[in-house]
C-alpha cells in the first residue's frame, strides 16, 4: 500500500509556507492582493502570485477581476477552500495543547 501512495502527487499543497496563511487571511471574506501582503509579511509578490494561482487551480479560491481604473482584483475562498478551516483549527488546537511537550522534546534532542 505504501509503495502506491509514495508515487501519488498530493492533490493540494497546504503544507507549504504560505497556503495555510492565505486561507486564514481569506477566512473573513474577499481581499485584494495588496491587502494580503500586509499580514503576510515577508512574502514576495512573485511567491504570492504563484501561491494564489496554485490555490485557484486547486479550487480553493476564486479570483475576481473588476473592470475599473485602476484595475481591482479580489480573492475569496470557495466552499472547498472553506472546508480546510476546520482541520486547520484542529491542528492549531493540537499545537497549543502539545507545544510545551514538543519544545521539551526538541530541547532533549539538541542536548
Interval 36-51: pLDDT, tens? 999 998 999 999 999 9
- Which three cell numbers mark 70? 485602476
**Structure confidence at residue 95 as a pLDDT band (50, 70, 90):** confident
Give yes or no for residue 92 having a pLDDT over 80: yes
What tens digit of pLDDT does each residue of 10-21 get? 555 666 789 999
Domain 2-110 CATH (choose: 3.40.50.1100, 3.40.50.620, 3.60.110.10, 1.10.10.10): 1.10.10.10
Cα–Cα distance between 63 and 72 in angstroms, integer? 10
Give the H/E segment covering residue 29: none
Q: Give the DSSP H or E segment for 72.
A: strand 72-77
Amino acid at each position: 500500500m505504501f509503495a502506491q501512495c509514495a508515487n501519488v502527487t498530493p492533490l493540494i499543497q497546504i503544507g507549504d509556507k504560505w497556503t495555510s496563511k492565505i486561507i486564514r487571511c481569506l477566512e473573513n471574506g474577499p481581499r485584494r492582493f495588496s491587502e494580503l501582503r500586509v499580514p503576510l509579511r515577508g512574502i514576495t509578490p512573485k511567491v504570492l502570485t504563484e501561491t494564489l494561482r496554485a490555490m485557484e487551480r486547486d479550487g480553493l479560491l476564486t479570483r475576481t477581476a473588476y473592470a475599473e481604473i485602476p484595475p481591482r482584483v479580489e480573492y475569496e475562498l470557495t466552499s472547498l477552500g472553506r472546508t480546510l478551516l476546520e482541520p486547520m483549527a484542529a491542528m492549531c488546537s493540537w499545537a497549543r495543547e502539545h507545544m510545551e511537550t514538543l519544545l521539551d522534546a526538541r530541547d532533549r534532542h539538541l542536548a
